[in-house]
Structure 1
Amino acid sequence: MEPFTNYKLAKEKQDNLYIPPPYCKEDVEKTEPPHEDNTPMPKLEVSNPGKLLNLIAALTNNSTKLLEYKLNLYLKGETEARQVFLINLLSVSEEAVVQVITDKILDKPMRTPLSEDAINNIVEYKNDLVQCSERLDPKISGLLDDILIDKKGQKVVLVPVLSVGRKRYYCPGQSEIMPVYLVAFLEPERETEYITKLVNETFKYCNTLLLNTREMEEEARLKKQCQSLLSVARKLFSHLGDLSDLLKEIMSEARRLTNAERCSLFLLDPDHMHLVAKVFDGVSPADKNTEVRIAKDQGIAGHVAVSGQLLNIKNAYKHPLFYKGMDEATGFKTRNILCFPIRDEDNIVGVAQLCNKMGGNFDYFDEQVADAFSIYCGISIMHSLVYKRIQDAQARSKLSNELMIYHMHVSEQNVADLVLCDSPHIHPDFGLFSFTPRKIIFNETPCYVLKMFEDLGFVNEFMIKREVLARFILYVKKGYRDVPYHNWMHAFSVAHFAYLCLKNFQLVENKYFSNLEAMAYFIACLCHDIDHRGTTNSFQQQSNSVLASLYSSEGSVMERHHVSQTLCILNTEGCNFLESLNHEDYSRCLDLINHMILATDLASHYKIHNKQLIMATEGYHPKDPEHRYILACLLMTCADLSDQTKDWIETKRVAQLIYAEFFAQGDLEKKMGKEPANMMDREKASIPDHQLVFLKDCVICIFKLLANMFPKSKVMIETIKRNILCWEAAKIIFDKKALEGKTSYEVLSSNELDTEVESFLKETSSPKTEFY
């Protein structure tokens, strides 16, 4: 075996093996060999090679903060300055950032927006530090002032650090260059020329490491944001079943991802004319019983909805589209806004608006997150709406099946009997407001409805087929459940009141209504409570019923169900008596029916009550569409409450029916473990007190509006006043019987109550007139 045969022996040590580098000699020969790329060997004019090498060797951290910390200490020592810090010029996010001041790493970096002019000026005056400092962007100057707030008047030297080939700014005759840092020295002991050369020599060897580390941190930040977006996607898709919850989750995540103080989310309404806030300042308007609605082409959100372009506003109050009235109303001060569109596969479906980024302004990376996030928003909203439509279709199918099971089919014999009925059906007082329609025999009521249709001229005006109309009426009658109050007889009474208004006020003849509006009014009254369950809207929502799941997001749960069932019956084979209308009138009639039935929700009435009051006071303008709408709403409300305009006997009888329903609901709520309202609790309700509040605070106010417009209705005001007196007299009896242990409903149902109130009425020659 021959050892070491594959290796050469080391040569003996030779003198001057390593040629001293040029920067270690004062007089380097001009014949020094160049680099491989033919550029001359660099020289260090001011830097100590050993110290610089030690600095470079020490820059091993993966954190720009720690790298800056070491650079600051090196530069401070070499210039004998009091303080040294680097201002990061981030062109992508367009901001200037200070993370470390000498040896102090800031818990929260100081940031300021960076304009393109600031970048260009630094490039232009890179060799003239005086000009560079004088033309410094005001935002950067403000940042310096904030850092050196207690050191004003002291000397500050700023030296720009440029990088070649990094970004987009171009100087003639040079490669593409970009300022990446401003190095600030406070009260340095060394001259400016020395500081400039020191910075240039130091960053010649350190800049690449710093920039790569900075870019690595930005990549890590983007990676973290992407991971956050994936987490957001999982959360969003877990809320597809409830659009309201989904939208709240969307804005919660948007606020978290961008570190914003407040958020709002607007969706375009179905007619694409308005943006409606589904989540405003982090709270659903439904939770506040308010609605924030803006025109789709107004304000910042409107501009984004129309243009489809993201807006990043650094100073809200200086932006021409900003509306400061909202701040004045809420006390919130908006500093900056990031507003971006939300799209589905084809169109813009909404706008998200974030306000006040904590710790500065929304930057480029927030914009990138918003763009990516908007895709998740659009996809999740689209799928939620599709899912909701599927749920709605299933719920409607279930309701339709339930309705078909509950109500038997109308036979053709019943239709023929109604059409061919030869009875005159004449009642002498039928045309008076004082008439009680509940006196009509139940089985004869469809005949009276058909007669009212004909008497109002609708059959001839719209060429309605009597057989189709008869079938529709019978289906509507069967559509009402056998609940104590909200049944077919209530619907018949309301329709009778509509008939009286159309006849006595001559609404068509005096141009208050067109013929089409008049017919829609009568149909809406007839159908306004179809398939009523004898429970309130709030009960439907509290019990999470099928109806609530279908309509609660829109409000007026039962009323929307009544509209749906009306259309369902109208679309049943052989029931569409409106088929003779042209397309425009047909659509208009259905819209009117929809709006009028929804108007029977008292909550809707209170929203427009002030407008009705102004109309009643200042006069009705038939050419004003809003006046026509609010008049129709007023007439619907009056028709729905018309039982309260009848005599005491009828009013008391109606009260028995109403409270039978109320107490049945209260019993159900108790079984559900809920505490019913007093008026729904048979053990706690004080019926006369509830009736007096209802009559004084609601009914008489509404009918006074009607009387202001139609003097013929004043007779109803007098009846209501008399009923108030009767309930006040009845209250004495109720209080006395309560001491004997009887409930309000037991007293209401007793004959003794009738006797004592009748006695009171005989003693009262005329009703008092001091009410209102």
Structure 2
Amino acid sequence: MWNNLADRLTRAWDSKVNTRHDMQREKSEDDEGSNEINATKVSQFLRQNPDFLEQYIMNEVDLEQLERWMIRRTQRSKKLMQPGTNKNSQLTNSLQKRPTKAHVLWELANCISSATNATGFHLYLVDGDPEVLSLYTEHTDNSPPTIQRIKAGFSIPKYVARTREPVRVSKGDIDSRFPEGIARSKEVEHILCQAVVQPDNKVIAIIELHRDRNGFPFHEEDEEISCSYLVWGGIALHYAHLFLSMNKQKKLNEFLLAVVKSIFQDMVSMDTLVMKVMNFAQRLVDADRASLFLVDSKTKELYATIFDVGIEDSRRQTQPKQESGAKKDTEIRFPIGTGIAGQVAMSGEIMNITDAYSDPRFNRSVDQQTGYKTETILCMPIFIRGVVIGVVEMINKRSGYFTKEDEEAFETFAIYCGLALHHAKLYDKIKRSEQKYKVALEVLSYHGTSTEEEAKQLLQEGLPETIPDIDTVRFNSFQISDMEKVKYTTYMFIDLFGLSKFDVKTLLRFSLTIKKNYRRVPYHNWTHGFSVANTMYTIIRKTKDVFRPVEKLALFIGSLCHDLDHRGKNNKFMLDTASPLAAIYSTSTMEHHHFNQTVTILQQDGHNIFAKLNSHEYKQVLGLVKHCILATDLALFFPNRAKLTTLIEEEKFSWSVLEHRLLIQTIAMTASDLSASAKPWDIQIRTVKVIFEEFYQQGDAERAAGRTPIPMMDRSQTDQQAISQVGFLKDICIPCYTLLNRLMPETGELLDMCQANLNRWQQIANDNEKLASEKENK
């Protein structure tokens, strides 16, 4: 863009210079009295008759020829122009090095001054109001430019800024428009003053060219030369402004991206995160210091623990001891409405203060506490969901005052600052919740974990050498105590797997903790867990080598742990009541929880019964334990049964196929879980009693929540027990044991006992129906 501008300016300058030279040559030829028609005379005629030239070109020269001429002229101009040899190339280089509006205008004025042979110039910047101009001057000693506001009086630059008309006057001229005279300097004799107008018709500057008494007055030709520069200069400035805006926006976007990365990658603590964000903000607006005040909604105060971000070492000597730019032992507090920050917190509006001590709202007490003098302030509210949660203050811009652009950039940043604060607070809450969780886990672990003394006592008492009927469906879990169940569990484990890879003390400790982690609910308690494990032990013993060692281990431990921490409510109840467990596990809610409890116990010190397994075995057994526990969700039984039934009927089932083995494991788990239906009648009756008591407790909870329980869980419909048992045994238990019996005939006793119980329940249901019918007839 800058090279193109230089080309155009060069062409304009060359055109004017060539015109002067040609006119001189034409004058000498005319003086010689030559009447011969030659190139010189034709050129003279065309220059004196530009309308004829324009008409001739428009009517006689075709467009393609005109384009060729333009291309040649452009190429010739580029060849003639050498970088660094004229003002145009200086302008180009300047634009590339420092593309600021004021500097570009200064270099443009330099170019025009040189092209018109002016002895000097003044550059006036226009910022909105044409009556308020700023005299801009750059220096050659690398010192910063100076800007002097001109408000009083009515001068030529103000006239041009207001009317946009160029002015050419000399000192001796009488002009009623300028009663104060044409110049403030004795050396200035002649003036050419013109406005720099952007394509949007906005006056942005006035260039006032000067010639001293040794120079000639400015003529129309000088004005045309100046105009040719100003036209392209105005366009260049417009695009330079766009370039600067885009570049600044790019930097702002990169800056905000860095802030967002900091928010999500460096979230260690609220203080650390906010400190980093404040450092970003300080660099954004080039402030000397930054402060963050948070709103205490309870006390209606602003407080700051992160204060004086960016304080310099030279000033820290007068401050209390600081770390990382923030006071650690001093908290600044003051009521909302006090000071600039308090006003912003109350009003929710931005404040840009150019002189803090002359503003009556400024609270000097903070400076008195810190020993630092505040001069300029940019104060911004931080919102979360429309509520002011804090205030960010930028103190003392290092160069000048905080600008409108600073406000706009800072306003965008305040949004991200609010996001950072919000996430930091959430992070702190999560960290606190995590610590509370650890404390709760420690407490629960203490009360829900077996002690060393308990394990030692059981070890001293010793395990039974034999247990009558332990491997039959007739074994009655109700007849032994909870501690005996721990011993019997260890006995069954050692009987199945030996002690070559396991430790008896660890097994006892593990079994004791399993016992403690079954809740005291009517049915899904330690007795049920032990009973299911006992049935699985029976299946494994009777089927001998059907299952592989790692599968046996997973089936037994899965059965023992399959209902850990059961609350006496089914999955549907958990979902309906929006239980926290249902929020964690959307499917097989309680079964996932049972497995996670199993893993938690295994991870406790002295409880890892799989510690001597190699990594492959350990990973495999845990995966199978999870598979077995999830299989106890009755919702999964139906699709599993359908798949396995299809394989058997189509004679595709194979013990060598892993998927088929997994399916039979799920059926074996369901069979063990439902084993109360395959026990002798006295055990069946006692089990059904506690099952329905648990059902009724859930029904009571549903009724209390305003829902109507199903008849099976309705305490007022006890006559439904028999018929519900008939449906349960017929639709679920019998199909399960039948399928198991087809693949493992050794389990036939389960099917026989379940069928016998079904017959008894059917008889009771028939009797109940008969009695009900008789009552209706009466």
TM-score, with normalisation over the residues of structure 1?
0.44
TM-score, with normalisation over the residues of structure 2?
0.44
Greater C-alpha Rg = 2
Task: Give the number of the structure whose residues are more often helix, by fraction.
Answer: 2
